[in-house]
Structure 1
Amino acid sequence: MMRLRSFRFLWMGQGFSNTGDVLYIVALIAVLYQATGSALYLSLLPFTITMARFLSGMCAPLVLNRYSLKGLLVGSQSIKTVLLGSLGISLGLFTPSVLFILPFAFLIAFLDGWATPARNAMLPQLVHEAELAKANSFVAVVDQSIQFGGWAIGGIFVAATSGPFVIWLTFCTYVISTFLMALIVVREQRDYKKKMPLMSGWKLIWEHPILRIFHIMIFIEAIANVVWIAAILYIFVEEVLLKSEAWWGYLNASFFIGLIAGGMLVSKYTKWFEQYMKVTLLITCFAISILTFLFGLTSVPVIALLLTVLSGLVEQVKSIIMVTIIQKKCLKESLPEVFSAQSALISITFGLGSLLYGFLAEAVSVAFVFALSGVLLLASALYLLKRIQFLDD
């Protein structure tokens, strides 16, 4: 019963935190645009956040060596709350410059970079192993629902009120999040006196056969998944579908609907997915490659929407299965370092991939980048097929 209650406090606390993360970014975009009127300065915000999360993942072993997972979650969330409160006060006193706002965004994102790895590492300690897939799918649905609705709600709040008001609204969600996560009860079996090298997570990944296989796939897929960023989809809508920017919103919404549906599917049929986990992973890897190819080839808007929903669904099922296998195959005490290294790998690869894809979409064509993503995803699937026997170890 205590573990179930703690799991509830974990997902609710992270839910409020993630809601705040979306709201404050929307608010900062509004504040920055009002202060500068420059699209270039706005582009610095996602770049700053990406780099902060990468550095956070790289530095995580040094922090994990000193604090428990619960202490890390509560402590980082508390500092985020203080930082956001300070930013809110500053906005009320003067009109801030870009150089003033970006350090706040960097520090908040840096602290937030530990949250998801710590949560994923804590989950096996709060639920039974047989319930891991269901717990992961539930948490994924909560995350994607917040992402799906958060940007729309944040935009409405900013339009109806102001950026500073939404900053204070975020402050309230952070306070609630900190309180809920402080109520978590977890008994961790980790030696905090043991010195943990900075690259310990990377070393664990390379030495563990299953982790090495998965993270080579994650590296390839992080590059391929750049194709779904807003900038690429916007060009696709304009140049291929020949539709208004409203269809850009429809495609984004369709992808998130697919993600939510995938999480609900795994949650409803957990026992089936547990029984056929390896086969399902292989099928979804090939399926996402095919769907990406087809999406890049279509010029029919309705078919594009359908393919986007299916892509989101398949991607979610694949991601949940990969996380669940990692949680089951890796030692619990090693999970924090592994997920931290994974977070850093995804952040830097996705960030650099965004620059590459933006260049290719402009220099070649948007259809080419979708074809490239399809090839990369196919390579990932074929690599898994070749190494599939190692998943039984």
Structure 2
Amino acid sequence: MKRNSFRYLWIGQALANSGDLFYIVGLMAIIHGMTGSAMLMAMIPFVTTMARFISGSFAPVLMDKYSLKSLLASSQIGKTAVLFLLLVTYYVLGEQEVTVYAILGFVFLISLLDGWAAPASHAMLPRLVDAAELTKANSFVALVDQLIQLGGWAVGGLLVVAMGGSNVIWLTFSLALAAAVFMKMIEDRHEAAPEQKGKADISNWNSIQEGWTLIWRQPSLRAIHIMYVLETIAGVIWIAAIIYVYVVDALNKEEAWWGYINASFFLGLMLGGLFGMRGAGLIDRNIRKFVICSSFGISLMTFGFGLTSVPWLALVFSAGFGIFEQLKSVSLQTTLQRSVSIHLLPKVYAAQSALVSLVFGLSTLLFGYITDEFGVRATYFIAAIVLFISGCYALRIRTRLPALGEGPEQQVRIGIE
């Protein structure tokens, strides 16, 4: 974890994630100031999800042609260019309705660039640290990300008040440019030579389906992604719209409690990340048990959260959910990285990114409907059942999950004919 390239990766990713968060806050402020429409503001996460699904689907084609480092750097450089065009368009068109739709178009383009950056970043990490440090490295990166998420929204809001929405976009422009510099400084010892990349005799369609085929054919990967899908479906309960209804209807509290619950959730994620760093060896030796226990723990916390009407208990359950969620996420992430060779891992992450984006988008609509028709408590009870099923599934297929020492070289590699 002390290698410079790993340091460049997490710093670059931290800058990029901070910029993404700030620019969303800035755009929300701009759109709200122009229209006051909650629906148009809600279009930003929807457009983002759909764009990442499309980009994640086609990312393997780019991964066959370019190195992961090049994809990470080009994503940030591309974002700086699109952000510049967004700002120019905003200043030229002014505050009119067509400007909003132009902004959404630029959001779509930026999210397309993010769609290949995220799987490339996840796949790069195992190349930069020793196999024995994977759990610790994953926990550290997750902790940094949660720190940004925890403080970023508040900092972004303060920046919007102090600087204005458009100036916050300029700040994002600078952060994306700095992130690109750090990504270019990474040295990937496993990177294929340019001429080898160009000689890859594989069609675009085969490239796109390679990650999906690996996930489907390899039992350990299929098991991991079934759990990912179930968790993604249930994870929709933490979106702002559902939490807001929960605070009002279940807790009978004012809007400020929406912030308290989010803060306790991210605090739990951070505590889980710290435990992952400090107890990496313990997790490695018992990784199957951690996947199973955290799965049931998440279900129990969700059920308690949906059942309670006591505000302080809701904070406890929210923090507990965050702790178990982080432990499960780190365990599954490490398990996945040990199940696939570093050369095939980018394709798997690309397929995973597309799959999770699609499932999350559809689940948002489903749970929104359930909340409207049956009430917010029903939403959390159903989510708890889905997570309990995930726990039962993890218990049933525990032997398919590789334990410590079972790296890709010990497993059957599945290729594409």
Q: d(CA) in 2 for partners of 1:197 and 1:112?
A: 19
Give the deviation of 1:390 after TM superposition.
1.5
Q: d(CA) in 2 for partners of 1:53 and 1:281?
A: 27
Corresponding residue for residue 71 of structure 1: 70
Q: d(CA) in 2 for partners of 1:315 and 1:156?
A: 29
The answer to whether the Cα contact below 8 Å between 2:67 and 2:191 also exists between their aligned partners in 1 is no
Q: Does 1:215 align with 2:225?
A: yes
**Cα shift readout 1:124-168 (whole Å, capped 9, x = no counterpart):** 110000000001000001111111111111111111221110010
Give the deviation of 1:92 after TM superposition.
2.9
Q: Does 1:99 align with 2:101?
A: yes
Letter in 2 for 1:219: V
SS at 1:104's partner residue? helix
Q: Does 1:360 align with 2:370?
A: yes
| Percent of residue pairs identical | 45
Corresponding residue for residue 131 of structure 1: 133
Q: Select the residue among 133, 142, 167 that pairs with 2:169.
A: 167
Q: Does 1:342 align with 2:352?
A: yes
Give the deviation of 1:189 after TM superposition.
5.0
Counting only pairs closer than 5 Å after superposition, residues 1-393 of structure 1 correspond to structure 2 as 4-95=3-94, 97-188=99-190, 190=192, 192=197, 193-194=199-200, 195=202, 196-392=206-402
Q: d(CA) in 1 for partners of 2:68 and 2:56?
A: 14
Q: d(CA) in 2 for partners of 1:29 and 1:227?
A: 22
Q: d(CA) in 2 for partners of 1:102 and 1:337?
A: 28
**Cα shift readout 1:325-351 (whole Å, capped 9, x = no counterpart):** 110111111110111111111111111
SS at 1:114's partner residue? helix
Q: Return closer, same or farther for 1:189/1:171 CA change in 2, 3 Å cut-off.
A: closer
Give the deviation of 1:281 after TM superposition.
1.1
SS at 1:342's partner residue? helix
Q: d(CA) in 2 for partners of 1:83 and 1:155?
A: 23
Q: d(CA) in 1 for partners of 2:94 and 2:217?
A: 51
Q: d(CA) in 1 for partners of 2:117 and 2:144?
A: 15
Give the deviation of 1:188 after TM superposition.
2.4
**Cα shift readout 1:290-312 (whole Å, capped 9, x = no counterpart):** 11111111100000001100100
Letter in 2 for 1:197: S
Letter in 2 for 1:12: I
The answer to whether the Cα contact below 8 Å between 2:291 and 2:394 also exists between their aligned partners in 1 is no
Give the deviation of 1:187 after TM superposition.
2.2
Give the deviation of 1:90 after TM superposition.
2.6
**Cα shift readout 1:88-140 (whole Å, capped 9, x = no counterpart):** 23323331512211111001011011222111111111000000000100000
Q: d(CA) in 1 for partners of 2:273 and 2:156?
A: 24
Letter in 1 for 2:231: E
SS at 1:199's partner residue? helix
**Cα shift readout 1:18-59 (whole Å, capped 9, x = no counterpart):** 000000011111111122221121121111001001111111
Letter in 1 for 2:124: M
Q: d(CA) in 1 for partners of 2:400 and 2:40?
A: 47
| Greater displacement, 383-392 / 191-200 | 191-200
The answer to whether the Cα contact below 8 Å between 1:92 and 1:164 also exists between their aligned partners in 2 is no
TM-score normalised by length of structure 1: 0.97
Letter in 1 for 2:92: L
| Greater displacement, 289-298 / 37-46 | 37-46
**Cα shift readout 1:256-304 (whole Å, capped 9, x = no counterpart):** 1111111111001111111111111111011111111111111000000
Q: d(CA) in 2 for partners of 1:147 and 1:337?
A: 27
Q: d(CA) in 1 for partners of 2:150 and 2:118?
A: 18
Letter in 1 for 2:51: A
Give the deviation of 1:170 after TM superposition.
0.7
Q: d(CA) in 2 for partners of 1:125 and 1:18?
A: 21
Q: State the aligned residue count.
A: 392
Structure 1 stretches of 5 or more lacking a match? none
SS at 1:295's partner residue? helix
| Greater displacement, 242-251 / 36-45 | 36-45
The answer to whether the Cα contact below 8 Å between 1:35 and 1:95 also exists between their aligned partners in 2 is no
